């Protein structure tokens, strides 16, 4: 089996605006990241995924790029970026840039030209349509309202799946693709190691046919990109693909397909929303469904592709608040969730602050929020007459700002994130939850993540072992094995606060097993036949086959 360098790696996502502010303007920056590289090295991560740092008017916090070749002045300069690349190299850390090519900012030079006249050479870089009576179609923006915006300069509509300041590029135009490949090569030649590709499943869209994701040309374009850019460097890539299924994931990541290394799938992220009603329609997590979804991905891609593994990113609420217990069992449940994810097959992603168990915010007042998605949703629902309390309950539970409050470094004002006034408030719990506290405590969540990262490097079975789900229908326990050569890895996790019994399956011989990691300090060294689990307990045993088996 082919062993790629990134298969043993762990990736850490930095959302620069909220990571560390070095100059007191309240906004995280590149210099601030450089100052924390030793912290990341101690954690043991291999790759940083840097959310966008390009020039941007910040309508969607950098996911609206006005110049791909320059750095947002809030974050620093190209010199700072080059220094960041150099400093990460010294520590054997790679950088993965965020690649946003489904759309640009409306302040990008291309769009400024494009909107000027119908025969402008850049006109066809974007998606323009004429329409007499209202928008050309009913397609809606992810950020509320129509996806079509009327532009009086030429009396046509342009298409934007996200904010109206994020016009969609027309990738069917080969000139556009060539420009983008040139830009990607520019960054790779600067020394970054790859890309996380924003909503890459949209780039083959055919708006007139109402086809958005998985357009007929999507995989052709990815293969072309691979040939003209990715294959020329030892890259690592992950595509953000909300529409991916276990079938399409094999197209993206399959051997010999020459497209991407892995994709972000979203099926597990939708298990606490009412089916078909979107992210704001709240519902309890369907736990057995979660096990089923994760397991289906594990088995479907086994030796046919490669999984990314994540609970969190800058678009999702904090996992310990979402599917753990951020009160009495914050530490136990954060470690349990980490264990379950990191012992699976794939490349794990850690989102900044996850490794110290940062939690959701509980703000009731919309003026404290900064995210365009939440604010637009609030305004839309308010206009429709939905009671404010109900709207705010969705935003508190699912809003993206849950992940975007500043990193909590220590107990100083604003959690040590800034000497000034932060662009978004720090979570009030920074006095108890912060990196300094975590680093001084050998039992902290931080060191649990450090161990999990190291285990992946030490044990081939974590990287290559075949996955099998146990106790499929158990309402509280998630348990699985990984099998590789003469070994079995047994992972048992209690997802809730009760004390369920775990009965050791007959296939598992406990005579030759050792405890690999646990989130309770006094877990026994061998699994007993009946193991009564404690709240949110998670244990991992490595079992050697009997020599005569």
User: Whole-angstrom Cα distance, residue 166 to residue 483?
Assistant: 46
By CB under 6 A, tell whether 162 contacts ligand TEU. yes
Residue 272's binding partner, choosing from Ca ion, ligand TEU, none, with beta-carbon cut-off 5 to 8 A by kind? none
In whole angstroms, the minimum distance from the beta carbon of 415 to ligand TEU comes to 23
Where in 49-68 is the site for ligand TEU (CB under 6 A)? 60, 63
Answer yes or no whether residue 259 interacts with ligand TEU by CB under 6 A.
no
Contacts by residues 70-79 (CB-CB < 8 Å, ≥ 24 positions apart): 71/30, 74/17, 74/25, 74/27, 74/29, 75/16, 75/17, 75/27, 75/28, 75/29, 75/30, 76/29, 76/30, 76/31
Instruction: For the CB of residue 142, give the shortest distance to ligand TEU in the complex, in Å.
Output: 4
d(CA 242, CA 265): 6
**Pairing assessment for the beta strands 148-151 and 156-159 based on DSSP bridges:** antiparallel
Residues 47 and 67: their CA atoms lie apart, in Å, by 24
CB-nearer residue toward Ca ion: 211 or 421: 421
CB of 406 to ligand TEU, least distance (A): 17
When asked if residue 142 is in the footprint of ligand TEU (CB under 6 A), the reply is yes
To Ca ion, the closest distance from the beta carbon of 19 in angstroms equals 10
Instruction: Using only the alpha carbons of the chain, give its radius of gyration.
Output: 24
Nearest approach in angstroms of CB 25 to Ca ion is 4
Residue 25 or 468: the one with the smaller Cβ distance to Ca ion is 25
When the beta carbons of 23 and 499 are compared against Ca ion, the nearer one is 23
Closest CA to 67 of 120, 109, 27: 109
Which is the catalytic residue, given 80, 149, 240, 259?
240
Q: Binding to ligand TEU (CB under 6 A): which residues in 71-130? A: 100
How many angstroms separate the CA atoms of 101 and 180, rounded?
Answer: 7
Does the protein bind ligand TEU through residue 400 (CB under 6 A)? yes
State which residue, 10 or 51, has the beta carbon closest to ligand TEU.
51
Interacting partner of 125 out of ligand TEU, Ca ion, none (Cβ under 5 to 8 A depending on kind): none
Residues of this chain that interact with Ca ion (CB under 5 A) are: 21, 23, 25, 27, 29
Q: Name the residue nearer to ligand TEU (CB basis): 103 or 414.
A: 103
* Residue sitting closest to ligand TEU (CB): 63
Minimum distance, C-beta of residue 401 to Ca ion, in the bound complex (Å)? 19
Residue among 29, 198, 273, 315 flagged as catalytic: 198
Q: On the CB side of 170, how many CA atoms lie within 13 Å of its CA?
A: 19
Q: Are 319 and 309 in contact (CB under 8 A)?
A: no
For residues 231 to 250, the per-residue mask of contacts with ligand TEU, x marking binding by CB under 6 A and - elsewhere, is: ---------x-x--------
Residue 198 to residues 49, 68, 215, Cα–Cα distance (Å) = 12, 14, 16
Give a three-class secondary structure readout of 302-347. Answer: CCCCCEEECCCCCCCCCHHHHCCCCCCCHHHHHHHHHHHHHCCCCE
Give the footprint of ligand TEU on residues 370-399 (CB under 6 A): 373
Interatomic CA distance for residues 383 and 427, integer angstroms: 29
Is 460 tagged catalytic?
no
Residues 300-319 that bind ligand TEU (CB under 6 A): 314-315
Long-range own/partner contacts, residues 266-270 (CB < 8 A, 24 or more apart): 266/241, 266/242, 267/293, 267/297, 268/293, 268/294, 269/316
Residue with tokens 């369920």: 500
Could you tell me the CA-to-CA distances from 151 to 16, 28, 104, 519 in Å, in that order? 33, 35, 17, 57
240 in active site: yes
Match 């090295």 to its residue by tokens.
41
Q: How far is the CB of 11 from ligand TEU (least distance, A)?
A: 15
Which CB atom, from 25 or from 107, has the smaller least distance to Ca ion? 25
Of ligand TEU, Ca ion, none, which one does residue 401 interact with (CB within 5 to 8 Å by kind)? none
**Residue among 221 and 409 whose Cβ is closer to ligand TEU:** 221
- Positions in the binding site for ligand TEU (CB under 6 A): 60, 63, 100, 142, 162, 198-199, 240, 242, 279, 314-315, 373, 400
Supply the residues annotated as catalytic: 198, 240
């Amino acid at each position: 089996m082919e062993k790629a360098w990134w298969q043993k790696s762990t990736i850490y996502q930095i959302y620069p605006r909220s990571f560390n502010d070095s100059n007191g303007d309240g906004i995280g920056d590149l210099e601030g990241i450089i100052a924390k590289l030793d912290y990341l090295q101690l954690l043991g991560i291999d790759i940083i995924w840097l959310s966008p740092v390009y020039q941007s008017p910040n309508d969607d916090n950098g996911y609206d790029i006005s110049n791909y070749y320059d750095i947002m002045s809030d974050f620093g300069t190209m010199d700072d970026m080059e220094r960041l690349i150099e400093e990460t190299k010294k520590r054997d850390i790679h950088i993965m840039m965020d690649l946003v090519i489904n759309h640009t900012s409306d302040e990008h030079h291309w769009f400024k030209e494009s909107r000027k006249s119908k025969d402008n050479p850049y006109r066809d870089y974007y998606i323009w349509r004429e329409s007499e009576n209202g928008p050309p179609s009913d397609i809606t923006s992810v950020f509320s309202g129509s996806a079509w915006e009327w532009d009086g300069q030429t009396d046509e509509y342009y298409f934007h799946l996200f904010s109206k300041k994020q016009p969609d590029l027309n990738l069917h135009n080969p000139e556009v693709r060539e420009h983008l490949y040139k830009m990607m090569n520019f960054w790779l030649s600067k020394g970054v190691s790859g890309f996380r590709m924003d909503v890459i499943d949209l780039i083959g869209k055919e708006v007139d046919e109402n086809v958005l994701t998985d357009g007929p040309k999507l995989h052709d374009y990815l293969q072309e990109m691979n040939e003209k850019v990715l294959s020329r460097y030892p890259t690592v890539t992950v595509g953000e693909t909300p529409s991916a299924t276990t079938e399409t994931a094999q197209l993206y990541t399959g051997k010999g397909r020459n497209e991407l290394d892995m994709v972000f799938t979203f099926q597990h992220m939708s298990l606490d929303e009412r089916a078909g009603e979107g992210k704001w329609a709240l519902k309890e997590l369907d736990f057995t469904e979660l096990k089923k979804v994760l397991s289906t991905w594990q088995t479907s891609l086994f030796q046919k592709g490669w999984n990314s593994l994540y609970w969190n990113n800058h678009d999702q609420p904090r996992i310990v608040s979402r599917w753990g217990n951020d009160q009495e069992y914050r530490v136990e449940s954060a470690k349990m969730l980490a264990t379950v994810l990191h012992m699976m097959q794939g490349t794990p992603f850690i989102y900044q602050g996850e490794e110290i168990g940062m939690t959701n915010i509980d703000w009731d007042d919309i003026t404290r929020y900064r995210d365009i998605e939440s604010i637009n949703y609030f305004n839309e629902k308010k206009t429709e007459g939905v009671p404010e309390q109900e709207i705010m309950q969705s935003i508190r539970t699912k809003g993206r700002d849950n992940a975007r409050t500043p990193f909590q470094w220590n107990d100083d004002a604003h959690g040590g994130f800034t000497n000034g006034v932060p662009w978004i408030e720090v979570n009030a719990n920074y006095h108890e939850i912060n990196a300094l506290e975590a680093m001084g405590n050998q039992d902290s969540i931080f060191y649990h993540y450090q161990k999990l990262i190291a285990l992946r490097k030490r044990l081939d079975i974590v990287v290559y072992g075949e996955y099998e789900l146990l106790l499929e229908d158990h309402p509280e326990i998630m348990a699985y094995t990984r099998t590789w050569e003469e070994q079995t890895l047994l992972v048992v996790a209690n997802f809730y606060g009760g004390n369920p019994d775990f009965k050791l399956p007959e296939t598992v011989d406990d005579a030759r097993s050792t405890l690999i990691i646990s989130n309770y300090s006094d877990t026994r060294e061998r699994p007993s036949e009946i193991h009564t689990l404690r709240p949110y307990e998670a244990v991992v045993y490595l079992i050697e086959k009997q020599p005569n088996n």
